[in-house]
Chain A
Amino acid sequence: MTLRKFYRLLITFCAFALLVLAVKPFTDESSLEDSYPIKPIKIIVPFKPGGGSDRIARVLDMFTKEEFGSSFIFVYKPGGGGHLGLRFLANSKPDGYMLGTYNTPDLVLGRMTGLARYEMDDLVLLGQIAFDANVFAASHDSRFSNMKGFLDEARQRPGKLRLGIAQPKGGNHLATLALIDEQKVDVSLVIFAGGTELASAVLGKQVDVGIGGLAPFLGSMDQTKFLAVTGSKRLQKIPRIQTMIEQGIPMNSGTGRVLMAPAGVKAFQLERLKNGLKNIFDNPDFQTELRKIGNEPAWLDGNQVTEYLRDFQTQAQHLLEKTGLN
């Protein structure tokens, strides 16, 4: 290489470096107190688009422009039952412009089942916006009329009945295993990869009964027979269906939807986010929209959720060892 060529190479790199330095200030973010948030906030949905979490986040997004100045930017990062996306959130820069959504109690189960590679301390809980009990569902012509009947028959014919579960290693799975253990029945469990798969299986009679969220069944209510609700009170959309407790079976589980931010976000940003979230929640239109898609609004602030999770963790530890899910 001649000297002249070498100089040209040098000049090219210098010109390039100058160009980069010139553009760089435009790419930096600022986080001034009174202008936060000045640009759109990203929200990580750790599932595939179109799922339950996505729909709830979209309902939230209908009100973010009003509250925060611009709509969310959706980032889908499925994998590891959702924990891969949460790890991404935990490792991201805590600049106040990245949030995530997930479910409880599955959130704490991640670490305990080995699916999660982040610590709960890496995330800050902003609040819970919905809580949905699960349902036990069967095809409309099923011979069972409630869960008590199903469990009775299961006791008489061990292993002959099929029970479908919507998501492996989640709160649902654990609660069902606890139920089976406590009731001392032997059913054949079939695990499906999500609520919609479970719904098709229940409707298609691939399983006798399935446990999952109510939302996937909303389009086929006349073809579904609901046997029980797993929460502490009945669901609005199916008011005649008893809870498990009413049927004399101790089971109280459900899925809460929470929003989180990575730990390290500045205090004033956290304050703004939490208040904003509560404002959106208190909006009656938000609650109507949420009910439209089959979910039930229920507010808990960040500290309350953390407390709930801590209680759950202690109970679950023992159960996980017993059922071998960890």
Chain B
Amino acid sequence: MDRLCIYASDVFIILVAAIAIAFRIQTAGTAEPFDAYPKLITGALILLAIGCLIQTRFSQGLTKKESSFTQVLKFVALIAGIAIYILAISKIGYFVSSTLYLLTMFHLKRYGNADEFLETKPIVADSLISLAIVTSIAVVFKFALNLVFPESWLF
């Protein structure tokens, strides 16, 4: 190995090993024989992590994928969007949040086209589709299957 590169997989594997060590420390107070299995698993995980790290040093053919800043940003935005959606579900209620989320996501895809974004026809089309999806979910799951849905302030 001529250069010491750190790949993203290394970061991930080191994190996993750290979590395994944290779990291992927590097992300290458990009575026998219930500590056998957790110790086995955490130990194996740490060994495997070391093994994987060593393997990466000697393997060829690992491509370095370049991620541009905009890609990362887009990804973070997507994750944040989903997280906000789930928060909305717990605070507002499933059906309202889902309709809003679907509508937003469908419409944001049109962001590039100036003659489609926030124009009457596309907005109406997207709204109708999101309403249709949410209504069918409501009919199938809530009314036919009687599943419980999160409700708080609204539905």
Contact = CB atoms under 8 A, between A and B. Distances in A.
A5 B146 contact: no
Contacts, number: 30
Interface stretch (A8-16, A108-116, A255-263, A300-308): A8-16
B66 interface: no
Given A8-B119, A16-B99, A40-B146, 9 more contacts: A5-B117, A5-B119, A8-B120, A8-B123, A16-B100, A20-B96, A23-B155, A27-B155, A75-B148
B148 A12 contact: no
B98 interface: no
Interface of B: 96, 99-100, 103, 117-120, 123, 127, 146, 148, 151, 154-155
B85 to A, nearest CB: 16
Interface residues of A, number: 16
A9 B96 contact: no
A106 B119 CA distance: 61
A183 B36 CA distance: 30
A240 interface: no
Nearest to B96: A20
A5 B117 CA distance: 8
Given A5-B118, A20-B96, A12 B123 contact: yes
Interface of A (DSSP majority class): helix
A8 B154 CA distance: 24
Interface in A63-120: 73, 75
Contact of B118 (A9, A16, A24, A75): A9
A27 B99 contact: no
Contacts of B123: 8, 12
A98 to B, nearest CB: 9
Q: Count chain A CB atoms within 10 A of each CB in B103, B118, B119, B154 and give the residue with the most.
A: B118
A119 to B, nearest CB: 23
A267 interface: no
